[in-house]
């Protein structure tokens, strides 16, 4: 047994709060003086080395996660008065638009609507509060010292989780969290009611696997940001977490620690060939497990989950770091793979046929850099780049520090392809022609370089920025934000952009898409005050470390 397992399991048995277990002790932080982040000059004036020193200092310093009141100071227009830092004029516009997207339930704000696009004829479900879409809104509010709405949202979705969920005559797992919900106002009877969608109304009828993970991640962000441990410690939140975990930690026919998923079960919620073991879900799964580990009580019910999480994290990190990782060396190794290897001595464990490696990846792969590929399953490696999964891998420390650096190197080396004129490609490259027909089922919304198929999504800016700060490379984020500032407001905060360089407003993109607005605000606030990173980032767990050679991983 390795060190990680032991260190994790040893704690089982005694009650330990989130503060004790987590990488940084929250309770101690409550009375710690705040790190004084210099605000005299904007980050644009500071050198990169200064900032990376700052970030490193922050990482070693508990104040990174210190509970904050109104720290960031990006309040609706007046913020500049509190800081010498002069915010971009877009910032106040963004706050105004974000506040217009608020959704109220019986007088209390409980979330933000997906898009506030009055010009659009087709509302579809963009008038709902999506769990995944609310995450950047929630972070913006937390960073601005407004945690109430986040708490309301967490409680409201927790309540919805308790509903019986059915598609036709088939009952879904108890722990499933909704993809979205809507508040119905009855002005006559003065009553607000909720309706929720767990996938039973969604196009394609797929349940959102990511919702539960985002919920756990957000609960930790709330706890980190406010220092309020009491919410996560309520029996309701503890049960909610256990129900989500029960869905993904059960044993069955699986031979891999990754989570088997249907196409369309996450941000990419249409058929895009991500079925199997998509990186987005694996990275969120890993992050949610780590967040849950820090919040679960070690009581009679929680203890068993803690043990299962520790074991799963160990296996999952090994699997991901070994088999999903691709760099020049690894690509060359796969290119030279032998096939049909039987037994535990096999190097090519999944029997990937080298002829199935697409041509583009040979040119795309720089000498410096690497990334987690989209999917790995028997005889199938999806070599596409997916931004969200890679950034969440950095934030959760699923990637080793070396791998995190390599992902950032890749971004720099392949800027045009991955960032282009409007940050940020959701996936690269697009699939076209015959492949598009087979993979998407001829989906007219997902034509090449559009929407989920190589479109550019401004919401991803916050994840990029967080990853940049974590890896000490804020200049990358700054460059991307500058691109966004040239267009986003002028274009009316579109949901996505089309084209190889992301130059065109998406064919069917909604305007005033809330997560485009919130994503921008979060990116700006994090750059201004990198200590915000703590609420959405987890430090490396040293005990999870060393990578054994692939042929040595087999055990009876």
**Could you list the residues that contact ligand GLC (CB under 6 A)?**
114, 130, 132-133, 267, 269
> What is the β-pairing status of strands 108-112 and 166-167?
unpaired
Q: Which is nearer to ligand GLC, 131 or 292 (CB)?
A: 131
The least CB distance from residue 510 to ligand GLC, in Å, is 7
Q: Which is nearer to ligand GLC, 150 or 426 (CB)?
A: 426
Matching residue, tokens 């697409």:
358
The least CB distance from residue 208 to ligand GLC, in Å, is 8
The least CB distance from residue 528 to ligand GLC, in Å, is 26
User: Are the C-beta atoms of 22 and 294 separated by less than 8 Å?
Assistant: yes
The least CB distance from residue 495 to ligand GLC, in Å, is 7
Instruction: Tell me the three state secondary structure of residue 50.
Output: helix
User: Are the C-beta atoms of 65 and 24 separated by less than 8 Å?
Assistant: yes
User: Are the C-beta atoms of 52 and 475 separated by less than 8 Å?
Assistant: no
Q: Is 184 exposed, middle or buried (0-12, 13-18, 19+ CB in 10 A)?
A: exposed
Distance CA(101)–CA(514), nearest Å, equals 7
Q: Which is nearer to ligand GLC, 257 or 264 (CB)?
A: 264
The radius of gyration of the chain's CA atoms, rounded to the nearest angstrom, is 22
The least CB distance from residue 273 to ligand GLC, in Å, is 15
- Indicate the length of the chain as a whole number: 556
Q: Which is nearer to ligand GLC, 114 or 288 (CB)?
A: 114
The least CB distance from residue 269 to ligand GLC, in Å, is 5
The closest alpha carbon to 202, from 284, 111, 289, 132, belongs to 132
Helix (H) or strand (E) holding 287: helix 279-295
Distance CA(543)–CA(59), nearest Å, equals 18
Distance CA(258)–CA(263), nearest Å, equals 15
The least CB distance from residue 284 to ligand GLC, in Å, is 13
Q: Which is nearer to ligand GLC, 180 or 317 (CB)?
A: 180
Distance CA(247)–CA(200), nearest Å, equals 18
User: Are the C-beta atoms of 532 and 525 separated by less than 8 Å?
Assistant: yes
Distance CA(11)–CA(295), nearest Å, equals 13
The least CB distance from residue 274 to ligand GLC, in Å, is 12
Q: Which is nearer to ligand GLC, 267 or 320 (CB)?
A: 267
Q: Which is nearer to ligand GLC, 26 or 114 (CB)?
A: 114
Instruction: Tell me the three state secondary structure of residue 453.
Output: strand
DSSP per-residue codes, 226-260: H---HHHHSHHHHHHHHHHHHHHH--SS-SSSSPP
Q: Which is nearer to ligand GLC, 29 or 113 (CB)?
A: 113
Q: Which is nearer to ligand GLC, 130 or 323 (CB)?
A: 130
User: Are the C-beta atoms of 202 and 179 separated by less than 8 Å?
Assistant: yes
Strand arrangement of the beta sheet that strand 180-186 belongs to: 129-130, 180-186, 191-197
Residue 273 gets the label, from left (phi > 0), alpha (psi -120 to 50) or beta, of left
The least CB distance from residue 451 to ligand GLC, in Å, is 8
The least CB distance from residue 130 to ligand GLC, in Å, is 4
Q: Which is nearer to ligand GLC, 75 or 127 (CB)?
A: 127
């Amino acid at each position: 047994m390795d060190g990680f397992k032991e260190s994790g399991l040893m704690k089982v048995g005694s009650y330990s709060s989130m503060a004790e277990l987590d990488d940084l002790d929250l309770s101690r932080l409550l009375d710690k003086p705040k790190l004084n982040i210099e605000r005299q000059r904007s980050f644009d004036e500071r050198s990169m080395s200064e900032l990376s020193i700052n970030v490193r200092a922050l990482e070693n310093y508990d104040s990174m996660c210190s509970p904050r009141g109104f720290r960031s100071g990006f309040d609706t227009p007046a913020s500049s008065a509190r800081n010498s830092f002069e915010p971009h004029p877009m910032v106040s516009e963004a706050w105004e638009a974000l506040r217009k997207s608020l959704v109220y339930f019986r007088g209390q704000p409980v979330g933000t609507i997906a898009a506030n696009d009055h010009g659009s004829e087709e509302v579809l479900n963009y008038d709902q509060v999506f769990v995944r879409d609310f995450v950047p809104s929630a972070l913006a509010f937390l960073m601005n010292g407004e945690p109430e709405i986040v708490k309301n949202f967490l409680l409201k979705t927790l309540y919805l989780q308790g509903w019986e969920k059915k598609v036709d005559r088939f009952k879904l797992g108890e722990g499933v969290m909704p993809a979205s919900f809507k508040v119905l106002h009855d002005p006559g009877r003065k009553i607000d009611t909720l309706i929720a969608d767990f996938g039973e109304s969604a196009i394609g009828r797929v349940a959102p696997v990511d919702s539960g993970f985002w919920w756990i991640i957000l609960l930790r962000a709330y706890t980190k940001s406010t220092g309020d441990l009491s919410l996560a410690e309520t029996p309701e939140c503890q049960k909610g977490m256990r129900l989500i975990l029960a869905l993904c930690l059960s044993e069955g026919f699986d031979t891999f620690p990754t989570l088997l998923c249907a196409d369309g079960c996450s941000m990419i919620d249409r058929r895009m060939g991500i079925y199997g073991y998509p990186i987005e879900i694996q990275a969120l799964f890993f992050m949610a497990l780590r967040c849950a580990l820090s919040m679960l009580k070690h009581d009679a019910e929680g203890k068993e989950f803690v043990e299962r999480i520790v074991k799963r994290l160990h296996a999952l990190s090994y699997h991901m770091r070994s088999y999903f990782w691709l760099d020049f060396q690894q690509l060359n190794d796969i290119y030279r793979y032998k096939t049909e290897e039987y037994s535990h001595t096999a190097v090519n464990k999944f029997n990937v046929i080298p002829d199935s490696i697409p041509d583009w990846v040979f040119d795309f792969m720089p000498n410096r850099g690497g990334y987690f590929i989209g999917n790995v399953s028997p005889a199938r490696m999806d070599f596409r780049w997916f931004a969200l999964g890679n950034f969440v891998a950095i934030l959760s420390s699923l990637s080793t520090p070396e791998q995190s650096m390599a992902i950032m190197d890749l971004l720099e080396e392949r800027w045009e392809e991955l960032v282009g004129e409007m940050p940020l490609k959701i996936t690269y490259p697009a699939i076209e022609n015959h492949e598009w027909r087979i993979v998407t089922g001829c989906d007219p919304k997902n034509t090449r370089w559009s929407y989920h198929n190589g479109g550019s999504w401004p919401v991803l800016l916050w994840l990029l920025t967080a990853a940049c700060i974590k890896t000490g490379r804020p200049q990358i984020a700054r460059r991307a934000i500058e691109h966004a500032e040239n267009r986003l407001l002028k274009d009316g905060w579109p949901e996505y952009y089309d084209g190889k360089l992301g130059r065109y407003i998406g064919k069917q993109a909604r305007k005033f898409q809330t997560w485009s607005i919130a994503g921008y605000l979060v990116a700006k606030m994090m750059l201004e005050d990198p200590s915000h990173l703590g609420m959405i980032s987890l430090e490396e767990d040293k005990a999870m470390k060393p990578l054994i050679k692939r042929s040595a991983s087999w055990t009876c």
